[in-house]
Amino acid sequence: MGECKFLLKTPSGISFLENQIRAALTCNLDKIIIVTSTLHSEEIRKIIDVHNTKRIQMVINENNKSERFYSIQCGLKALKKFNYCFIHNTDCPELNPNTFFVLHSLKHTADSIIPVYSDKGGHPVLINQKMMKLLLKAPSNSRLDVELKKSISKRVNVNDSCIHLDIDTPEDYEHYILNN
């Protein structure tokens, strides 16, 4: 798209990142890791700092040409002493706290818990420590969906169409704005 997706605006006028942070904070997560490139780190830091909490940490992916999976690995490297973590995309601006709660309630049932709506998986994905270690050992150019298939995954139906939001093109963004 050519723009930093974190900084795109929701229909209510706040950034995708701000919208995601607000929702994540209502879920009472112990730590929120935000991975970004060096290119927009100052703008993202300002959004994070507004919340004045040590629960949010920004991690810089220094390799601007890397694949998305490498950013996941950067975020996982920053997690210490956590048994579980959620992985969510920048380009999925909406987070439903109920989806977090449903996935979290099933955390002991598989290495990864994937939300499903209309027979299609989406985000956020909850992974355990075993899966975190596997992802860190995977090639940096891999894909999350490929790596999740190498371990025990559980697909869970949720009543949340937002798990499929994926803003990759100007047309996707226009559709999102017009329909939300």
* In the chain, where the domains are located: 5-179
Write the pLDDT tens digit of every residue in 8-17: 999 999 999 9
Q: Is residue 71 within 8 Å of residue 61, measured between CB atoms?
A: yes
Task: For residues 105 and 92, give the distance between their C-alpha atoms in angstroms, rounded to a whole number.
Answer: 22
Write the pLDDT tens digit of every residue in 106-124: 999 999 999 999 999 999 9
Asked if residue 1 has pLDDT above 80, the reply is no
User: Residue 63: how many CB atoms within 10 A of its CB?
Assistant: 13
Give the single-character DSSP code of 15.
Answer: B
pLDDT given at position 39: 87
Model confidence, pTM: 0.92
Q: Is residue 62 within 8 Å of residue 35, measured between CB atoms?
A: no
CATH class of the domain defined by 5-179: alpha beta
pLDDT given at position 116: 98
User: Residue 38: how many CB atoms within 10 A of its CB?
Assistant: 11
> How do 84-87 and 112-117 pair as beta strands?
unpaired
pLDDT given at position 136: 97
